[in-house]
Amino acid sequence: MRSAPFSCQRRLAVLALACVVLVAGASFPATAADAPAAAQADDAANGYTRAQGLFHERKFRDAVAALDAFVAAHPRDARALVLRGDAKADLGENADALKDYNSAIKIEPEYQYAYVTRCETRLALDDVTGALTDCDNAIRLDATDALAYEDRADVQFQREAYALALSDYDRAVELGRSGTYVFAARCDTERLVGKRDLAKADCEKALAIDPKSRRGLWARSRLALVETRYTDGIADLNAYIAQNPKASDTAYYFRGLAYNRISSYRLALEDLRTYVQRQPTDPDGYKERAVANYGVGDKGGALADLDVALRGYRKLGDTTAADHVAAMAKSITAGQAPTP
């Protein structure tokens, strides 16, 4: 079935004062500038301080190199291990980041931020149970940490525990989280629990902050489709897909569905061909493509797609969907349009 088309990483940098202090820092994907770097001569002594600046400059590879030298000289410095984990996570090296977080927590079992950032990484690695445990621990150690609630909301969303997710997003906002991501994520969650008016307001907040936010565009497009505002949904999905076509599989499915609902079958067929090519085991894609095929006059193609969808739903044990697909095929055989 279709998985969520987004991921989130909101890393923090850590600064050394008289005690461990946590300071917010931005998260960005790795770029071509993140080439292998070499440590400087004094990094064994000062690499942590230099890495902080490099991290905030988004020079994650350089930060890792500086921290490698520092950690080699200070193997029990939990701050350095966590900062190196954050840099690795922002490079997409989540498995290696997890090793650093594990080491830091073993050294300092009450290191609250380490649980926050490990929660994010475990979620990125699809360890939902571990992520939930980490976010619970982070909140136990600091019940006023807004980011910990936002991260736990992401975990609950992934678990499809939408009411719990909404409660945590609400708490995160109450505690001061006010960025594009939290409003967009809360919009999506409010839609799923039936609070569409609240969802609309949150989506508008998110896109007012950043009109190009993919998370915001996604959430608003899904809300539009639920409300049968298909043209609005297509417009947002156009903007979402344009930013990263290779990472938009699910968006092609929903845009194809929306095109089907406004009888733009050729455009729908193009999108659904893309989706089925990328997600060949999802029966939803074949079922929706059957609608597009029928719409362009290809009844044979529609029946073939419905046959694949039927077998897929039966394999999944989804008898309701299987019965619906069988009824669609029966309609086509009888010379009638299938009901999506």
Asked if 45 contacts 107 with a C-beta cutoff of 8 angstroms, the reply is no
Given pLDDT bands bounded at 50, 70 and 90, which one contains residue 27? very low
Torsion of CA 95, 98, 102, 103, to 10 degrees: 80
CA distance 13 to 85: 10
Strand partners, 12: 24
List the chain domain ranges: 1-108
Within the chain, strands assigned E span 12-16, 20-24
CA distance 325 to 311: 10
DSSP secondary structure string for all residues of 165-218 = HHHHHHHHHHTT--SHHHHHHHHHHHHHTT-HHHHHHHHHHHHHH-TT-HHHHH
What pLDDT does residue 18 have? 26
- Of 9 and 192, more confident: 192
**Does 7 have pLDDT greater than 70?**
no
Mean pLDDT in residue range 169-198: 98
**Does 16 have pLDDT greater than 50?**
no
**Does 182 have pLDDT greater than 90?**
yes
CA distance 58 to 26: 8
What pLDDT does residue 90 have? 96
**Does 36 have pLDDT greater than 60?**
no
**Does 23 have pLDDT greater than 50?**
no
Asked if 86 contacts 13 with a C-beta cutoff of 8 angstroms, the reply is yes
CA distance 132 to 118: 10
pLDDT tens sequence across 67-121: 999 999 999 999 999 999 999 999 999 999 999 999 999 999 999 999 999 999 9
Asked if 328 contacts 306 with a C-beta cutoff of 8 angstroms, the reply is yes
Q: What is the pTM of this model?
A: 0.87
Tokens at residue 156, please? 């609950």
Tokens at residue 261, please? 């609902």
Q: Which residues contact 92 (CB under 8 A, 6 or more apart)?
A: 29, 30
Tokens at residue 231, please? 């043209």
Given pLDDT bands bounded at 50, 70 and 90, which one contains residue 240? very high
Strand partners, 24: 12
The DSSP call for residue 246 is G
**Does 25 have pLDDT greater than 50?**
no
Given pLDDT bands bounded at 50, 70 and 90, which one contains residue 4? low
What pLDDT does residue 6 have? 55
Coil, strand or helix: which one is 311?
helix
The topology (CATH level 3) of 1-108 is 1.25.40
Given pLDDT bands bounded at 50, 70 and 90, which one contains residue 20? very low
pLDDT tens sequence across 305-338: 999 999 999 999 999 999 999 999 999 999 999 9
Share of the chain above pLDDT 90, in %: 86
CA distance 182 to 188: 10
What pLDDT does residue 10 have? 53
